[in-house]
Amino acid sequence: MPELPEVEIVRQSLDKKIQKKKVKKIIIRNRSLRFKIPRGFEKFLENKTIIKVSRFSKYLIIFLSNNQFCVVHLGMSGTIHLIDFKDKKDVTNLSFYNSPFLPKKHNHVEIIFDNFKVIYNDPRRFGFFQIIENNRDLKKRFIHLGPEPFDNKFNLKYFQKFIQNKSKTIKDLLIDQKFVSGIGNIYASEILFLSKVNPSKKIKSLNKKECSQIISNSKKVLLNAINKGGSSIRDFKNTDGSKGGFQDSFKVYQREGECCKRFNCDGIIIKKVIAHRSTFFCNYCQNK
Active site residue 103: no
Q: Which of 32, 67, 3 is nearest to 244 (CA)?
A: 3
Output DSSP code: residue 229: T
Active site residue 133: no
Active site residue 3: yes
Q: Which of 263, 260, 180, 262 is nearest to 222 (CA)?
A: 180
Phi/psi at 2 (5° precision): -70, 145
Q: The sheet that has 128-132: what strands, in order across it?
A: 50-56, 59-64, 69-73, 128-132
Longest dimension (CA), the chain: 62
The residue annotated as part of the active site, out of 17, 58, 117, 255, is 58
The residue annotated as part of the active site, out of 34, 52, 219, 277, is 277
Active site residue 6: no
Q: Which of 220, 181, 228, 189 is nearest to 9 (CA)?
A: 228
Q: How far is CA 113 from CA 17, 105, 215, in A?
A: 10, 22, 42
Which amino acid, one-letter code, is at 228?
K
Catalytic residues: 2-3, 58, 277
